[in-house]
Amino acid sequence: MTALFITATDTGVGKTLTTATLAVALRRRGLSVGVMKPVETGVVKGRPSDAGRLVQAAQVSDALDLVRPYSFRLPVAPLDAARAERRTIKISTIVQAYRKLQALHDLLLVEGAGGVHVPITSTVDVLDLIEKLKAPVLVVGRAGLGGVNHAMLTLNALRACKIPILALVLNQTVPAKTPVARRQERSTLELLRESAGVPVIGPLPYMAGVDARYDWAVGKLAASSEMKKLTKLVLASVRGTR
């Protein structure tokens, strides 16, 4: 495995945080880790971007137009964001950048946009892009109510296209403050471990105020027991052992 595509069951479930943390954890284990965000929307000058956070985590000096071939200001799906700026996203441009980065590093982490059916062009969605890149997938989901349905829909969509799935990572997107919330979280984790058919990692703990202290949160998560499990799983795949 020389590349890993990170997708999600929904937006706002911690995909960028998981990718950045994995980059730090793998770098600490001696790997040269590249990062890529093929299309990023909601990019505002002077504010932190997903691509910028990934570059910081991986400590790479790769050109930004390779790490992020397309960026748009409007925080909507890539297809609509490109239309708003009267631009066209070319999948061939993304693939070329992907190949160049892949050749520079031991492992390339590619973070998608939203979930697998988010449209990139009028004919290509994230699922189609994953097929073109021929990379196995890490799915990031929510450890809470609704997490089972969203995770299984995503996993089944990937399986229908015969795309290899490395694991499912569950994040605490909100703190489980009540007994009911904690029971819902446990239920999601237990049911998915029964039915997902892939390793289920998590939940990665909720990090309050993560935007204000991103580097600290990434460093703390990289040392967590669940991230260590994921790192071990990724390393085994990179080295060809299980």
- 178-192 pLDDT, tens digit per residue, is 999 899 999 999 999
Asked whether the beta carbons of 2 and 9 are under 8 A apart, the reply is no
* Of 10, 12, 75, 66, the residue nearest 35 (C-alpha): 66
Q: Name the pTM for this structure.
A: 0.94
137 labeled binding residue: no
16 assigned ligand-binding residue: yes
DSSP string, 195-232: HSSS-EEEEEPP-TTGGGGHHHHHHHHHTSHHHHHHHH
Percent pLDDT > 90 in the chain is 79
Mean pLDDT of 74-95: 97
Cα dihedral 239→104→116→213 (10° resolution): 90
- Domains of the chain, CATH where assigned: 3-230 (3.40.50.300)
Distance of alpha carbon 170 from alpha carbon 139, whole angstroms? 9
Instruction: For residue 64, give the 3-state DSSP assignment.
Output: helix
| 17 labeled part of a ligand binding site | yes
Marked catalytic residue, from 37, 90, 220, 228:
37
- Ranges 33-37, 110-114, 203-207: which has the least confidence: 203-207
171 among the known binding-site residues?
Answer: yes
Helix, strand, or coil (residue 34): strand
80 marked as binding residue: no
**Is 37 among the residues known to form the active site?**
yes
Q: How far apart are CA 56 and CA 192, in angstroms?
A: 32
